[in-house]
Structure 1
Amino acid sequence: MGDITYRLSGSLANYQTRRLNETVIKRDLIAKHVEIVTREDYPFWFRQRILCYGSNAQVLTPDWFVEEIRKEYQKGNRNYGKKFVFLKGYREQGI
């Protein structure tokens, strides 16, 4: 897969790398963010990890991976744009 650059902010601004494949390239405690470059072999696992950080994470490069994460958030956002009614353990799209 190659190198990925990402930014952690807010409560994750003080993140300390624990993985050998990660390097902090910029830390701005005033703006409350840290930028990290990582070399990843398996995009699936990195994707899972970055998504769990929610709004405190932003993938910066490569562009194709930024787009993949953006699409994933769009899909999730659509799930919360719908209202659901729960009846007898079944989920039905409702009012």
Structure 2
Amino acid sequence: MGYKIFKFEHSEGAEIVAAENAKDAINFYFNNYQDDSQIDDIVEYDGIEIEELQGEDIKKKHEIHNEETGKSEEVSYRELAERFYKGEPEILVMPRY
């Protein structure tokens, strides 16, 4: 397993990111996923909690909406990472709005 799985939790939900290490995950998340105004809001209002998920947290199955099929599926974060992580940081799950 050449990746780690990180949870970025904030007031609007949580994104799950697979990356080689925390620095790569954080840089990817803030540079490619959040714009300046979103980052300002995160800092000003309620912050963000970042944690590495391990063990049962990555093995537990969750009902996750698959945007490609338009259906929900029972899958673990580890299964998603094995399917989608290709050596570059990747968002595995994001909140549905």
Same fold (TM over 0.5): no
Alignment TM-score, normalising by the size of structure 1: 0.28
Alignment TM-score, normalising by the size of structure 2: 0.28
Q: Which has the larger radius of gyration?
A: 1
Structure with the larger RCO, 1 or 2 (CA within 8 Å, 6+ apart):
2
